[in-house]
Amino acid sequence: MDQADSPEGAATLTDIPGNRVPDGAQVSWVTTPDGVRLRAAVFPASQGKPKGTVCLFQGRSEFIEKYFEVIEDLRRRGFFVATFDWRGQGGSERLLRNRKAGHVGRIGEYDIDLGAFMRDIVLPDCPAPFYGLAHSMGGLILLRNAIMRGIWFERMMCIAPLVGLPEGKIPWRPAIGLSRLMRRIGLGWIKLPQFVYERVFNPLRSFPGNPLSSDAGRFSRMVEILDADPSLEIGAPTFGWIASVGDGMEEIATDRFHKNLQIPVLNIAAGRDRFVSTPAIEALGKRMRIGGSIVLDGSRHEIMMEEDRIRDRFWAAFDSFIPGTRE
């Protein structure tokens, strides 16, 4: 029985020689109001009085261990870092008998995860002010919550947020319509066919031609973590997940979202993204009253896992946007 299925097991993080657990990690379980167990972790600032807490939110199929380097970068800047695995992925509880299926029934289920994490982990145990830093699917979830009255964050940075899907490989509008139909008739749990998954999401485990990062070392590290702990991995998404993402993207496109945006948001898009639509991110930024978007030319989808020349530009944007990071 693996970690996510064992009610009595202590929450842990996978440690390998090339990806050590940052010092002082506090790992725990969070149980949501609807009964799903999430794996969460808090990492204290490396030095001095903390400047606040960066809440780090992953994309689809990701996990805490993948972000150890980013966590160390944030800690050196004087921040606590709090993070967790979304339901259905990483070390959190899986929702289907098939543990490799990337599933969620409704986009609002992720809101439940976010609220439980903030109430049970961040608010009682982490120093304010709070800043949101989210990647891909995490960016979509965070943006949806940015219009919530009393939102916890002072500012948000959304990295390659999933606010639109790229054209070309698949006609997404009818695909989302089909996925909603499958969900409506009780078949949302069925996974996307493997040949479609491989064509659209291109889940390569070898570096040449991968759509995630142009940095061979960082890409290899992602693979090594999964080799060391295969229980962290998920595969093809379900029709329910695709339908839920479609719902979320439509919400972000509404006038209601833009009229009710509560806090400053900076979106950072990847110029060579094959997973999310860079034009959609640029268009979103142009409509925002208190936010905007920038594009990092040459970057693939996982900007925070990219080569140093791209990461340096990302961190320069972070330091300019998040208060207190420049001395």
* Structural fold of domain 3-321: Rossmann fold (3.40.50)
Contact 156, 261 (CB under 8 A): no
Answer whether residue 3 shows pLDDT above 50: no
Place of tokens 């029985």: 1
202 pLDDT band, cuts 50/70/90, is: low
pTM of the shown model: 0.92
Every domain of the chain and the residues it spans = 3-321
Q: What is the pLDDT of residues 165-188, one digit of tens each?
A: 987 667 788 889 999 999 999 999
Angle at 158 between CA 14 and CA 179, to 5 degrees: 85
- Report whether pLDDT(139) > 80: yes
Bridge partners, 17 (sequence order) = none
**Per-residue b/e over 247-286, b at no fewer than 16 CB within 10 Å?**
bbbebbbeeebbeebebbbbbbbbeebbbbbbebbbebbe
pLDDT per residue over 203-259, tens digit each? Answer: 556 677 788 889 999 999 999 999 999 999 998 899 999 999 999 999 999 999 999
Residue 10 banded pLDDT, cuts 50, 70, 90: confident
* d(C-alpha 183, C-alpha 28), whole Å: 32
Distance CA 91, CA 96 (A): 14
Mean pLDDT of the chain: 91
What gap in Å lies between CA 85 and CA 30, rounded to an integer? 10
Q: Is the dihedral of CA 281, 139, 106, 191 positive or negative?
A: positive
